Amino acid sequence: MKFTLGHSARIISIVISIVMVAVFFFYIFYLVPYVSDTASAGDDTAENRKYHVLVVGKAENESFLQQIYTGAQQVSKKYDAVVELHVPESKAENMSLQVLLEYASFTNPDGIIAYIGESETNIKAPVNIDGKQIPLITVVQYHPDIPQVSFIGTNYSELGRKIAVESSAYLKGHGSLAIINTSSSNNPNYSTLMNSLINSLEEYTGIKTTISDFGLSQGATAFERRVENEIGADNIDLVVCLTTEDTIHAAQSLADMNNGRRIGIIGFGEGDIADMYLNRGIITELLSIDSPKIGETSMSELFEFIRYGYANSYINADVRIKKAGSR
């Protein structure tokens, strides 16, 4: 069978047409959905979100702030927001919270979540480039003079009652405990916690409570020596600590003691070192603020204010209880 030039041209034309149709359907059924999915994924990236939120605080609170940031980041997509954490790299580079807030104003965020320390006062609310106040959510310490949209922190009175309940449960209603006191008596939050704890423990008549006042200036070595000499020798069954530092020092002291008696520790705070002693069973229970939940709640209140112009002025943070041997 012979093929003329005309036949060849027609065959080539048909082949080209088939290829073009195949390419067309490949584009319609494969490339277009792929491009659409890629575009949708791109729209979901942080760079394309509508709002910008900063979490700020000092270097010494970085671990706590990191967890707040994690909680805020987990719900950021829900609010179409980018969340950033701004903490000085070291204590040597530390600066006042006011300076950190002023830095935040230059980035022009839609909201700020700030860790407020005990000594932070006379804070001025940051403003954006238009001179409008940036909504400020504060956490941990409450200061009525700070122009905050909402405060999320601890109900120290309720916390004291909760520690008393946990102490009684450990002692099964009978025994002796020592509360280690090293904090300043002029700290209103600490005073509220201490008073609530003592008053709540008085309800358990089978428990003998003593307060070991170590003072503010005790170094780690002196602290450990007093724990060994006083608590170790006084037939104390349980030690209660109200700060992270005291909890760790008490754990270090009791871990080194070898007097044949088991002394429990109920501590307050968080961090890798405290968790290590908890996992080793030296710390019996560790109570801490649910900081990731604070991040989530901060975002909820911030966007309640952004969208509707109001938010809850005061919210109690949840308390987590971790026990040795539990997972």
Count the helices and strands in the chain (H runs, E runs): 10, 12
Contact 302, 283 (CB under 8 A): no
* Strand boundaries in the chain, DSSP class E: 51-56, 81-86, 111-116, 136-140, 150-153, 175-181, 207-213, 238-241, 264-268, 285-289, 314-316, 319-323
Residues 6+ apart with CB under 8 A from 282: 251, 254, 255, 265, 324
pLDDT at 1: 47
User: How far is the C-alpha of 62 from the C-alpha of 304, rounded, in Å?
Assistant: 26
Residues 6+ apart with CB under 8 A from 308: none
pLDDT at 130: 85
Per-residue pLDDT of the chain (327 residues; tens, 9 = 90+): 444 545 555 666 665 666 565 555 444 444 333 333 333 333 445 568 899 999 998 887 788 899 999 999 999 999 999 999 988 876 555 677 888 888 878 889 999 999 887 666 677 888 888 888 999 999 987 777 788 999 998 888 999 999 999 999 999 999 999 998 876 555 667 788 899 999 999 999 999 998 887 654 455 566 666 666 666 656 789 999 988 888 888 888 888 765 556 889 999 887 778 889 999 999 999 998 888 999 999 999 999 999 999 999 999 988 889 998 764
Structure tokens at 265: 């520790």
Place of tokens 């905050």: 148
pLDDT at 226: 67
